Amino acid sequence: MSSSYSNYTNSPCAACKFLRRRCTSDCVFAPYFPPEEPTKFANVHRIFGASNVSKILHEVAPHQREDAVNSLAYEAEARLKDPVYGCVGAISVLQRQVLKLQRELEETNADLMRYASCLGGETTSAYGGRRG
């Protein structure tokens, strides 16, 4: 158990393993690319390159690095699945969905207004008729 723990902590991170370099205690990749997730680094390396990922990590505050890595991993995976549009394809789909929902909501609101005025008119006419 202690041997397995020791092996785990001594393992280079997925980035250093991929780049075949020594993983030091100040490795900028290690906290975000654990050895058990080799694909995560392979993907961002393939799309952005290790040097650009490292630059981005140094640009952002330490508490934001996990989010930065996860968004880079998401973009990289999307680009590998769809080399033409990448995650911009998802943006287009969502933009169309927003437009469709806005149109549906406008139509439903217009129906609601018609029903409301119709209900008002029906009531007035019925009672008005009786009263007249």
Q: Which residues bind a second copy (CB under 8 A)?
A: 46-49, 51-52, 56, 59-60, 64, 67-68, 71-72, 74-75, 79, 83-91, 94-95, 97-98, 101-102, 104-105, 108-109, 111-112, 115-116, 118-119, 122-123, 126, 130
State the minimum distance, in angstroms, from the CB of residue 5 to a second copy. Answer: 32
- Structure-block tokens of residue 103: 């149109």
Please check whether residue 52 is in contact with residue 45, taking contact to mean a CB–CB distance below 8 angstroms.
no
Give the number of other Cβ atoms within 10 Å of residue 47's Cβ: 19
The helix-helix angle for 65-81 and 38-47 (nearest 10°) equals: 70
- Structure-block tokens of residue 93: 């789909």
State the minimum distance, in angstroms, from the CB of residue 56 to a second copy. Answer: 6
Q: Which is nearer to a second copy, 37 or 104 (CB)?
A: 104
Closest CA to 28 of 4, 5, 6, 52: 52
Q: Which is nearer to a second copy, 12 or 40 (CB)?
A: 40
Q: Which is nearer to a second copy, 12 or 86 (CB)?
A: 86
